[in-house]
């Protein structure tokens, strides 16, 4: 291990690299880098075990730069440890791998996108939990800024990490006192921070964050703790420069004509010869997910029930598949996993932001997670979901109790914006099954796709439409009813497909033939194939959805009609206003998305 003198030299070089890179870029956060330089030197060159030639080695110690604006010093540490060989002065340029905030698409050493503050600790929790599940001895380190300690999601992670006894999770708070616009809430009140984190059941260590000896001692103590550890490092923003601990320098690069003057305020040593400690590696496991036979259904069943059964069979067949739930598992039916594979069920309690952050961390560590809660409550975790998409993550999210069809529970429990949320994400897939067979098939299909996958399930039981041998290709739709004499197409998803089928039967009794289409895959979607079918079956379309208009299924279809210059006519039925408590039947009628409304919409075309 390098000497304390050598680690001090490394810290000085990391500071110089950060100044030079941000000045070359003309933007960035150099003072935020300087406050954590000693911490980074001790971590990367004194404490962490990793193979610089193998970023995806499952036994590497993991590091998350939760304060993502300090990306330049992360790049410096990776460069100086020979993990990367990029030109540090290419920071923030169009074709550079060194983006303004860390992004996995650019560097394999960056596991998750950071920069939206308060999320790194949840991700670290997920990574540490994955190591426990796979019985690996590596540790996960999370560097937090003190400004982000005001984020509620940090405390969601704190309470669960201690509950799960994740002693392989080590958080370091860079308490440099200054935020973007001025002092932080507690400034340098380390004792208040300490009392706060101790109350969450963590081992808490307080140090001078610029004293290498104290940093190394704290890391050694943390490694022996039986609980997760929070190291509170008192630091100074802009450490080493004449502007240290001065407000007004957040996010400001040193001007080029002043760079030499500031560099002269820092030591300029040669980089010492150091050897990174390699981890003890265990053999990699086969991560290919096996798809077991789906369950039989003869009686009506809710898609949420089918989701739970599908998830349970997936977990039984694959030890790397886990279920997470925000304490509504008896409603989402992810509780089915607990009945047979208790170790593969993770209760995150009522903390949806933490739920998604943990799922992201698990997914980056060889585990395939299914995260479940009510669709309405996923909006609380929108930013975590967005950041997971930016992290090129692959996992499945299930939102149950979607739409007004949940009935009497009322508007606060009704997911009516979730489709738009997930459609807008890059590289996402959105599924809305209408019966238990399609739900099981689509639940399995999500494990074979990249990106964030969303399954929307409904509360009420619905009839079984399909057979076990039916297939549900990604991006396609299902023609449930159709003839050569169709006057129109009635399209629905989930609960509204059954309303479309009822409307079809009513119109048929009046001598009007219609096709019925199940839009089970909302994204991706074979637009041209659908329009070709539509134009061959009357050129008139009614789309009914248990969702808001904005960003929903109807808007998706409308944009396709415009894109392909179709002359087909369309009526779009959707939920308007704020729903009231009532029965499913009453609410579908009130909001004009039931079979009667579909019939009337057809007549208006």
| Given 352, 499, 545, 555, the catalytic residue | 352
Residues 6+ apart with CB under 8 A from 84: 75, 78, 97, 107, 109
φ/ψ of residue 566, rounded to 5: -75, 145
Residues 6+ apart with CB under 8 A from 342: none
Give 430-448 as a 3 state SS string.
EECCCCHHHHHHHHHHHCC
CA distance 311 to 329: 12
3-state secondary structure of 344: helix
| Residue 2: how many other CB atoms lie within 10 Å | 18
Nearest in space to 570 (alpha carbons), one of 502, 490, 503: 490
Residue 76: how many CA atoms within 13 Å on its side-chain side?
27
* Contact call for residues 10 and 41 (beta carbons, < 8 A): yes
Q: Using alpha carbons, list the distances in angstroms from residue 346 to 123, 226, 325, 329, 395.
A: 14, 20, 7, 10, 15
Interior angle at CA 509, CA 505 and CA 513, nearest 5: 70
Q: Using alpha carbons, list the distances in angstroms from residue 512 to 465, 505, 543.
A: 22, 9, 18
Interior angle at CA 18, CA 15 and CA 22, nearest 5: 150
Residue 349, classified by CB atoms within 10 Å of its CB into exposed (0-12), middle (13-18) or buried (19+), is middle
Q: Is 327 a catalytic residue?
A: no
Place of tokens 């008192």: 234
Q: Using alpha carbons, list the distances in angstroms from residue 161 to 47, 123, 202, 228, 396.
A: 22, 11, 8, 7, 22
Nearest in space to 303 (alpha carbons), one of 443, 503, 479, 491: 443
- What is the residue-wise DSSP string for 490-552? EEE-THHHHHHHHHHHHHHHTT--EEEEE--EEES--HHHHHHHHHHTTSEEEEE-SS-STTS
Residues annotated as catalytic are 352
């Amino acid at each position: 291990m390098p000497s304390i003198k050598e680690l001090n030299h490394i810290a000085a070089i990391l500071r110089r690299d950060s100044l030079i890179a941000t000045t070359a870029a003309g933007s960035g956060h150099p003072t935020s880098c300087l406050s954590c330089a000693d911490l980074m030197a001790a971590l990367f060159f004194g404490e962490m075990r990793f193979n610089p030639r193998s970023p995806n080695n499952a036994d590497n110690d993991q590091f998350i730069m939760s304060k993502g604006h300090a990306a330049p010093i992360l790049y410096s540490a990776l460069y100086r440890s020979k993990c990367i060989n990029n030109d540090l002065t290419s920071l923030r340029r169009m074709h550079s791998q060194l983006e303004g905030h860390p992004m996995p698409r650019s560097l394999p050493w960056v596991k998750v996108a950071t920069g939206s503050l308060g999320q790194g600790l949840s991700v670290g929790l997920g990574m540490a939990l994955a190591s426990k599940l796979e019985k690996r001895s590596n540790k996960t380190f999370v560097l937090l800024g003190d400004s982000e300690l005001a984020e509620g999601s940090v405390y969601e992670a704190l309470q669960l990490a201690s509950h799960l006894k994740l002693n392989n999770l080590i958080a370091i708070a860079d308490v440099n006192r200054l935020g973007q616009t001025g002092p932080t809430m507690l400034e340098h009140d380390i004792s208040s921070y300490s009392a706060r984190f101790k109350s969450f059941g963590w081992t808490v260590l307080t140090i001078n964050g610029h004293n290498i000896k104290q940093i190394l001692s704290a890391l050694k103590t943390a490694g022996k703790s039986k609980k997760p550890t929070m190291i509170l490092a008192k630091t100074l923003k802009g450490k080493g420069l004449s502007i240290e601990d001065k407000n007004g320098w957040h996010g400001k690069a040193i001007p080029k004509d002043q760079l030499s003057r500031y560099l002269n305020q820092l030591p300029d040593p040669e980089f010492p010869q150091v050897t990174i400690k390699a981890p003890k590696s265990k053999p990699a496991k086969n991560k290919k997910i096996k798809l077991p036979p789906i369950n039989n259904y003869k009686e009506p069943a809710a898609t949420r029930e089918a989701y739970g059964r599908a998830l349970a069979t997936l977990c039984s067949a694959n030890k790397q598949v886990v279920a997470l739930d925000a304490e509504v598992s008896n409603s989402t039916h992810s509780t089915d996993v607990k009945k047979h594979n208790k170790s593969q069920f993770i209760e995150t309690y009522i903390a949806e932001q933490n739920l998604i952050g943990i799922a992201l961390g698990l997914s980056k560590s060889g585990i395939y997670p299914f995260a479940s809660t009510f669709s309405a409550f996923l909006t609380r975790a929108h930013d975590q979901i967005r950041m997971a998409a930016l992290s090129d993550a692959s996992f499945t999210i299930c939102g149950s109790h979607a739409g007004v069809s949940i009935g009497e529970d009322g508007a606060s429990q009704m997911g009516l914006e979730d489709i738009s949320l997930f459609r807008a994400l890059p590289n996402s897939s959105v599924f809305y099954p209408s019966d238990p067979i399609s739900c099981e098939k689509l639940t399995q299909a999500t494990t074979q796709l990249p990106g964030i996958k969303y399954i929307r399930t409904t509360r009420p039981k619905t009839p079984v439409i399909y057979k076990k041998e039916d297939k549900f290709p990604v991006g396609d739709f299902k023609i449930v009813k159709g003839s050569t004499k169709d006057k129109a197409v009635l399209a629905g998803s989930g609960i509204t497909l059954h309303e479309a089928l009822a409307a079809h039967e009513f119109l048929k009794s009046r001598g009007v033939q219609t096709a019925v289409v199940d839009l089970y895959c909302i994204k991706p979607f074979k637009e041209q194939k659908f329009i070709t079918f539509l134009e061959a079956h009357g050129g008139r379309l009614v789309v009914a959805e248990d969702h808001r208009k904005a960003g929903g299924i109807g808007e998706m279809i409308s944009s396709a009609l415009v894109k392909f210059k179709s002359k087909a006519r369309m009526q779009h039925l959707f939920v308007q206003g704020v729903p009231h408590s009532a029965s499913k039947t009453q609410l579908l009628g009130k909001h004009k998305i039931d079979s009667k409304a579909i019939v009337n919409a057809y007549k208006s075309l």
